[in-house]
Chains A and B, each alone.
Chain A
Amino acid sequence: EVQVVESGGGLIQPGGSLRLSCVASEFTVSTNYMTWVRQAPGKGLEWVSLISSGGRTYYADSVRGRFTISRDDSKNTLYLQMNSLRAEDTAVYYCARTSTRYYMDVWGKGTTVTVSS
Chain B
Amino acid sequence: QSVLTQPPSVSGAPGQRVTISCTGSSSNIGAGYDVHWYQQLPGTAPKLLIYGNNNRPSGVPDRFSGSKSGTSASLAITGLQAEDEADYYCQSYDSSLSDVVFGGGTKLTVL
Contacts and interface: CB of A to CB of B under 8 A. Distances in A.
Do A and B actually bind? yes
A76 interface: no
B59 to A, nearest CB: 12
Nearest to A48: B100
Could you say which of A35, A50, A94, A104 has the most chain B C-beta atoms within 10 Å of its C-beta?
Answer: A104
B105 A45 contact: yes
Interface residues of B, number: 27
B91 A102 contact: yes
Interface residues of A, number: 21
29 contacts: A35-B100, A44-B2, A44-B87, A44-B103, A44-B104, A44-B105, A45-B46, A45-B89, A45-B91, A45-B102, A47-B100, A50-B100, A58-B100, A61-B99, A102-B33, A102-B34, A102-B36, A102-B92, A102-B93, A102-B100, A103-B34, A103-B51, A104-B36, A104-B38, A105-B51, A107-B45, A107-B46, A107-B48, A110-B45
